[in-house]
Structure formats: structure tokens, C-alpha cells
Structure 1
Amino acid sequence: MSTQPLAPAIQADEVVWSLPGVAPVLCYYRQGEGCPLLLLHSMNAAASAFEVKPFFDDMALKQPLYAPDLPGFGRSERADRVYSPDFYAQVVVDIIKAMDCGPVDVLALSTTAEFAARAALRDSDLVRSLTLISPTGFSRRRDSRSPVGARVHRILSLPFLGAGLFRALRTKPSIRFFLDKAFGDGAPEDMVEYARNSAAQPGASYAPFYFVSGQLFTPDAVGELYLPLKLPVSVLYDEDPNISFDYLEEVARQGDNWSLVKIPGTLGLPQFEKPSLTESALKEFLKNL
């Protein structure tokens, strides 16, 4: 494993929070005016706040921006703990409380859309709106809380097997293979390099193995998380090789608080491939709140 500290993912101010039961959590931030926007990266073997970097660099957003490395990723704590949907939902709640700026707008990528929805249901006074980019949870899935997921995780946690598998996952060719799926013309080189360095940090396999074993997903996300939402929700999506949206339109039809916006020609990370269209969709949604 690398012993060199991971460089900042975003050129911005930084704050480190000691959340209840979690220490430390690093968050990039930029001052601004209006309701703050909390940006949550996705879950994968090399996830980090780098995934939301375009919101800082490529978009003329005026509101305060906050982008944490969630526990288990980036430059935040990577403890050998139990990672679960409840754990991450509470982390989101605690981050918003640490921001200490009233209700916030939350933007979440992929799997963290489920955590953000769970957090909004847990404490509705903290979240004004949700913007979900290529969210998971709109397809049929097996029960991630079944013994199967736990058994898979135990196998992945075996010292030699798990370490060998993660070494293979964190090689540059492997990371490029998976990231390229989200880009029509291939992933940016700086993103691949940062992901490789992030996945080489001590403790980098702990949280991803919970993701790989399916234990970070909610089996009935539609019924448990999405349909109960009463706050404004915007979904930005198009084609995603890893995610299906079987029930997305059905959910949107059942509540006038949902808006769906396709960002054409994108594969799950529109903030990189189509930053202008993503910015326009985000601004249009937020200005109408």
C-alpha cells in the first residue's frame, strides 16, 4: 500500500469534521451565497470527491459548495468497521449538522442517492431538495441484507484472497476499464490517476468490499426510500452501463415533487461529459424551489 498522503481532489478550502463515532471526515468547500449544496460522490473501489470536481471547476455555481470524502474513501477515515446504508445515511445527517447552515440542497451520485434519500427521510428539516445523478435503486434486486451478501463479504475479507483481489482491482488498467464505461471517449487521465492513488491508500478495501458484496444497497429502495419522499427531487440521467431505471418513470408519475431530466450522450457522469447541460439542469431545478 502507498504510504504517501493522497493529494487534494479539489482545489478548494478544506475542513475536517469529527462526526459522532467517525473521525476524521475531510470536506472540500467554497463560500458563496444562498442555500448550500452538498455534493456526495458515488461508491466504488476508488471513489472520492474527485467525482464532483466539475461542480467546482467547470460550472458557474454561486451557492456555497461542500464535497466530503465519505468515510472509507479519499482522505477521510478508512477504518475497518461495518459500512451499511444506515451508517452512511447517518453520516450524511451528521455532515449537514456539522455544516451548521440550516436546510441544504443535496446532490448525490449513483448509490449515494439511496443514502441521501434515507437521510432526508430520517431528518426532513435538514434537506431542502435532492438532485440524484444516475441513481441506483430503480430496478429489481435481491435482498442485500440476506446471508449471501454477508458470506461474500467474509470471503472477500480473507487476508490473502481479499488482498489479492483488491490489488487486481486497483491496478491502473483495471481502474481505467471501469471508469471508461462512464465516458464515450474514455475517462480523463487525471481522474484515472487520482483513483489509482486513492485505491492504494491504507484501508482502501474496507468500504469497497461492503459495496462489492451488495451490502450497501436497499432491496426495496423504491418503496422504502423514494416513494415516501415529499421534498423536491430532480433526477439527471441518460444511459448508464451499470444501472437500470426500470421504475424511475413510474415513481415520478406518482408524485408531482419529482422531475426527470435526460442529459443526452452521457453514461452516468454527466458533470464530466456535459457540464454545461448538467449545470443548466441543476440551476433550473434549484431556482424553482
Structure 2
Amino acid sequence: MTTTSRLPTYFISHGGGPWPWMKKEMGPTYDKLEASLADMPRQIGRTPAAILMVSAHWEEPAFTVMGNPRPPMIYDYGGFPAHTYQVHYDAPGSPELARRVQSLLEAAGLPAALDAERGFDHGTFSPMAAIYPKAEVPVVQLSLRRGLDPAEHIALGRAIAPLRDENVLIVGSGLSYHNLRNFGPQARDVSKAFDDWLDGAVVRTAPQQRIEQLLHWSAAPAARIAHPREEHLIPLMVAVGAAEGEAGERIYHEDAFMGGISVSSFRFGAASA
């Protein structure tokens, strides 16, 4: 792959289900999130060779990379309008990048596998519809590892960090607050408490201390209310591990999302624009 200047990494809040295809039903609910995602190409200042997306919606026994050159769609949601089960995001995959990721993981001593059939889940295709709506940039998904150990996923980020110098954009896709049983106005205070802690840990803490805070994220205020199960937070560990010594910046925040919750997205490393 071509070597060029280093790209930043991202942890994005990806929203709910197929929201880019539900603007009539959702109204302005996603306008601010959509604008933040659409601004990412401006921030990086060029078109990446490919995107490596670590989605909260894929877990495997080993870190598994998607090797399908033409990824199909995985409609991994329920209860949405019928037309949202026909949507397409037709970005190509990249078997070359998949093999490169697998080799980096193996070199780091991490368990790695390749899945030649896997398609895009909504943790990838929904935000990508806002980031690159023309689907012109190849996209490869990389799974979480079952057990969701923060240290393992920080190590994953360290292992794939060289991709940043190869014009590959690393994106962790989750949600900074994810408790579907506690949404809306009643979650205002607890989501704010955790979001404030998260911003402090990844933006207002020196990079050298950031890892230690994230390893013990479950001790944060309202942590287990914000994330009864942490699969939507763990992609953050990958983005941080891949930019370990670099500053973080909050690139998206609102405190009344979906009727009252605080949510955020972050960039690690400098923007080019």
C-alpha cells in the first residue's frame, strides 16, 4: 500500500438502525450526528485508500477481518419500516487490506481469522452513508473479540496502527451511551455523568494516562447504566490504541439526543484540514 502522512483515528456514535434512510420518519433527530460524520472527509483532508471499520455489531472468538470483495448487506435490526430492509451501501471490500490486517494481528501475537463471506452491518453502512455517500471508498470490517476485554482491544489498536501511515482510516463504530432499556428524558442525568467522564478521560487527560482510565472504565460514574454490556464502547479502545500517544478531540456532542441522552464522538490525532 502507498505510504503517506498519518491519518487520525475515530470513535463515532453510529446512531440507531438504518437512520439515514428514515429521514421522513425521524425528522431532524439525526441532523447533528449526520453533519459530524459528513465532516470527517474534510478533517482528514484527502480520500483514504480504504476504511477499516470496527463495528460494535460483530463479535467473534478471534479478531476476524472481512475479506469479501463485494460485501452484502446484513440487516441486523428489527421493527423498522419495510423499505429499510432493501437499502444498499455498495462500497467495495478490499481483500488486500484484509490480508494486511490479518498479518499485522498475527505478527502482534493476537488471534486472527479471515471471513470471506461477511457483509456490512448497520454499524458500518449507516454511518458510511453519511461519511462517503457515494460509496466510492473500499471498506473492510474488523470484528471485536468475544469477552470484550479492554486491554485486548487496545492491543488490537496498537497492532493495526501502521495502517495509518498507509492511507487507511481506522474507525471504531459504537455509541457512547447504549442502554436501550433506559433511553429518553429519564436517562438525561446518567448519560451526562458518563459522557462527562468519557470526555475527561479521552480529551482532557494526558494521552499517557488515558489508557489507564479506559482500562478501568467500568468504575466511571454511571458506567454500567450507560453500558450494561460494553460492545458499543469497546470500539473506542481500538481507536485509542491505534493513536496511543496522540491528543483526543470531541468532534460531536449533543445532550438531548433521542429525547434526552448525552452522546459524543471523538477523533485521535491531528486533523489535516
Q: Normalised by the size of structure 1, how large is the TM-score?
A: 0.26
Q: TM-score, normalised by structure 2?
A: 0.27
- Which structure's residues are more often strand, by fraction? 2
Question: Which structure ranks higher in relative contact order (CA pairs < 8 Å, sequence separation ≥ 6)?
Answer: 2
